[in-house]
Amino acid sequence: MSNHNVIDENIASALEKLMQVQRLLLWDITKKEKLSPIQIQFLIYLGKYPPEYCKVSQMAREFDLTKATVSDALNSLEDKGYVKKIREADDKRSHVVSLTRKGIQTGKRIHGWQDVLVSHIQKFPMDRKEQFITVLMDLIQSLYREGVIHVARMCITCENFVPGENGTHHCILTDRYLKDSELSIGCAHHRNREAI
């Protein structure tokens, strides 16, 4: 018999239900674009992140996949004309992957794939959303610390982040003061903080 509280199990079940919603939304896009879910996610990722993150090894870490799985998906995207690979000058075995014109156009088309979910989140009052996002980020950080996931690109794990009270968190890189509601998940400028 598990010694977890009912609410802990219920929260995990609720997250699973939300993942099901995301799978359904992603599935709609994959049918329209005739690409697999991971290929769609790679196109979105490549459109968002700078070249140093757009290599097979880095993407394998980001998505918690094997390098072989990432390579296969990228090779298929290359064959279909969505991405191109450029060999790195200082390491001939490594490639940087970038979107072609077709990849960029597709990326723009699929950008709002989560809009249905976002429109429902929008209806909640700001104070509840701030509490919710704070708990979610703490949960992601906890899973990251335990090694369940290997990348957690959030303000609270970033070396540029100086925590404060709501409204006085500071991003040193951009010199912006941030409220809880403005903390970032998936920031392209994130730099991993040692010993989080």
Residues near ligand SF4 (CB under 6 A) are 155, 158, 160-161, 171, 173-174, 184, 187, 189-190
**Ramachandran angles phi, psi of 192, nearest 5°:** -60, 130
* CB of 85 or CB of 170, closer to ligand SF4: 170
Give me the least distance between CB of 181 and ligand SF4, in Å please.
Answer: 13
For ligand SF4, the closer of residues 39 and 184 by Cβ is 184
Closest approach, Cβ 177 to ligand SF4, in A, equals 11
In angstroms, give the least distance from the CB of 77 to ligand SF4: 27
User: Whose Cβ is closer to ligand SF4: residue 145's or residue 189's?
Assistant: 189
Which residues on adjacent β-strands are paired with residue 96?
86
Nearer to ligand SF4, 95 or 190 (CB): 190
DSSP states of 99-164:
E-HHHHHHHHHHTTTTHHHHHHHTTS-HHHHHHHHHHHHHHHHHHHHTTSSS---BGGGBTTEE--
Token output for 141? 């950080």
**End-to-end CA, the chain:** 33
CB atoms within 10 A of CB 173: 14
Which helix (H) or strand (E) covers residue 59, if one does? Answer: helix 56-63
In whole angstroms, the minimum distance from the beta carbon of 144 to ligand SF4 comes to: 14
CB of 38 to ligand SF4, least distance (A): 24
Nearer to ligand SF4, 45 or 161 (CB): 161
- Look up residue 192 and give its DSSP letter: B
